[in-house]
Amino acid sequence: MPDSSHEKLVVAVSSRALFDLEAEHKIFEDQGIEAYREYQVKHARTPLNPGVAFPFVRRLLSLNEYFPKDKEPFRVIVLSRNSPESGQRFFNSCKYYKLPIRGGAFTSGQPTFPYMKAYGASLFLSANSKSVIEATQKGYPAGLVLPSKALDDQKDKGLRIAFDFDGVVIDDDSEKQYKESGLEGFQDYENKHVDSPHNAGPLTELFKKLAYFQQLDMQRRGKEDPYYQPVIRISIVTSRGAPSEERLITTLKSWGMNAAELFLMDGMPKQFVLEQLKPHIFFDDQIQHLQSAAHAVPSVLIPFGVTRENSVKTLMQTTDIQR
């Protein structure tokens, strides 16, 4: 049985999210599955280039060195529609980059997200828009990695993760109020519920587990090292402005968390803060925030709630996101 305790964090990735398989995917689209399979088997020993999720995955797995060796709290597994033989190139590439990814499923074209619970995964990253849409419609925490030219600094050893708040960390209840009543109605709603924590969103479990390990590392190393630098930095980059941050903070406190970095954009573009923050991955439920940031930071769309329809519509119309 998978270890689903808070002391383990499991992330599932597709092969196209972790590695750059766009040339191979074009073979699949133009020539079919057999040509794709033959190409992958023929090049099984040729390492794939890193993809959008690579910086995040590499750093997440490297965090295990800061915790007892018998624990290994961070784990990544692959959920791939590839066949087992064509998927061999994935594991050979992992060995080449020294990524300790040892588990996962190759389903030969069948849906992969139903196996998330079997592996205890808190997140599924994929480059297939159809898979992500289907997964989120069924309540799975899944995200679509967007094309990005962000450079990965190999000397940068920490892990920085940025989250939008509404529709990502929490549900879309307040976002609904904004769409129905405008900014004034939204502020009034938040003021009335300032002492009531928000309900969970699609990435609440991931957020809380990261926060747990952030605090655990701080307790272990921070007390002993006067020059302590956190290896996990969690940031919230939200379109909210004051005073709606009060309920946000109420929610974080209810989860026993107070260490997140908070950026209140008050409706201003998120792009410029993200360019300075340089997160290794950024999650948002609104495509417009991601499209402006994806060139600079690895970005992931979380299709959820009231913004899902617009996100899905954009995905279906924009070929560079569909790939």
Domain covering 9-145: architecture: 3-Layer(aba) Sandwich (3.40)
What digits encode the pLDDT tens for the residues 214-261? 888 888 777 777 777 888 999 999 999 888 899 999 999 998 876 579
Share of the chain above pLDDT 70, in %: 91
Which pLDDT value is given to residue 216? 84
Q: Identify the active-site residue in 164, 171, 284, 285.
A: 164
Q: How far is CA 274 from CA 161, 241, 297, in A?
A: 10, 17, 7
Residue 321 pLDDT greater than 70, yes or no: no
Which pLDDT value is given to residue 320? 42
Residue 4 pLDDT greater than 60, yes or no: no
- Whether 285 is catalytic is no
Which pLDDT value is given to residue 319? 42
- 9-145 and 159-322 share one CATH topology? yes
Domain covering 159-322: architecture: 3-Layer(aba) Sandwich (3.40)
- The structure's pTM equals 0.90
Share of the chain above pLDDT 90, in %: 51
Which pLDDT value is given to residue 157? 76
Query: Quick one: how far is CA 109 from the chain centroid?
Result: 23
Look over the chain and give the mean of its residue pLDDT values, rounded to a whole number: 87
Residue 153 pLDDT greater than 80, yes or no: no
* Per-domain residue ranges of the chain: 9-145, 159-322
CA atoms within 13 A on the CB side of 212: 15
The CA distance from 241 to 285, in Å, is 18
The CA distance from 170 to 155, in Å, is 33
Give burial (CB, 10 Å; 0-12/13-18/19+) of 302: buried
Instruction: Give the pLDDT mean for 309-314.
Output: 66
Name the more confident of 218 and 312: 218
pLDDT band at residue 2 under the 50/70/90 scheme: very low
Residue 79 pLDDT greater than 90, yes or no: yes
What digits encode the pLDDT tens for the residues 101-152? 999 999 988 999 999 999 999 999 999 888 898 899 899 999 999 988 777 7
Instruction: Give the pLDDT mean for 19-45.
Output: 88
The CA distance from 36 to 42, in Å, is 10
Which pLDDT value is given to residue 1? 36
> Residue 20: beta bridge partners?
49
Which pLDDT value is given to residue 3? 44
pLDDT band at residue 318 under the 50/70/90 scheme: low
pLDDT band at residue 315 under the 50/70/90 scheme: low
Residues 175/284, Cβ–Cβ less than 8 Å = no
